[in-house]
Amino acid sequence: MPQKNLNLERLAPVPSLKEMALATIKEAILSKKLVPEKMYTEAVLTQELGISRTPVREALIHLASRGMIVYFPRKGFQITPLTEKDVENLFELRLPLEMAVIEHITPRLTDKGLVEIEKALQRYQKVVQKGAPLQSLRANRDFHICLAGLTENSYLIKALDEIRDLTDLASVRSLEVDSRALEAADEHERITAELRKRSVKGALREMENHLKITKERVLARILPTKAAG
């Protein structure tokens, strides 16, 4: 006789050592436990993480491919120091991608899709109230990932994913500006409000404004440092 469905809860896949090393190193960069201009070695990370060199090296190669670090084989790595030009170039690329997401999803947005956006917005607003920068950064990223996912355009999703690490690195700098997280939460709310109305023009305007302000806040942190140097 065929067995009945037991309705057991599916287990989440166990992350590989590379994935765990990648997440830990990235968080160390974003929390400034690892800082720009200082050279770090694989050996130090291997010892700190308590794992073999191979997954650490794989994680570093991945981060280097995303532009988050500069990797020097057999020597070590340095965190990418974002310059004014880097920020300008990053947002020059990001803007048309995010605008393409808005143009794609707004006229086709279903009630189910809107619910997903609302949930992502609420999670972000809730985290922002706690005043935890890294959690706010993750929730901000998840909001944008939610929008991109609704396009169901694998090429567009991949293009945004390719710059996600650098986007996070820039965004964490913007969060160093007082009240930026609360400000960004309001910008997300305005984007969502236009999506509720299925207003392509309005949603494009609010997304462009959001990215413009984010870039300005990042540059506000970089330029004083540059001038002081």
For the chain, how many residues are written? Answer: 229
Measuring CA to CA, which residue among 210, 175, 174, 168 is closest to residue 191? 210
CATH architecture of the region 17-79: Orthogonal Bundle (1.10)
Compute the distance between CA of residue 195 and CA of residue 192 in angstroms, rounded to an integer: 5
CA atoms within 13 Å, Cβ hemisphere of 52: 6
Residue type, 22: L
Measured between alpha carbons, how far is residue 72 from residues 41, 69, 75, 116, 214 in Å? 9, 10, 5, 42, 31
pLDDT in tens, the chain (229 residues): 566 666 666 666 667 889 999 999 999 998 889 888 899 998 999 999 999 999 999 999 999 998 899 988 788 899 988 899 999 999 999 999 999 999 999 999 999 999 999 999 999 999 988 877 888 889 999 999 999 999 999 999 999 999 998 998 888 877 776 688 889 999 999 999 999 999 999 999 999 999 999 999 989 888 755 444 4
Domain 84-228 adopts which CATH fold?
Four Helix Bundle (Hemerythrin (Met), subunit A) (1.20.120)
Show me where the domains of the chain are located.
17-79, 84-228
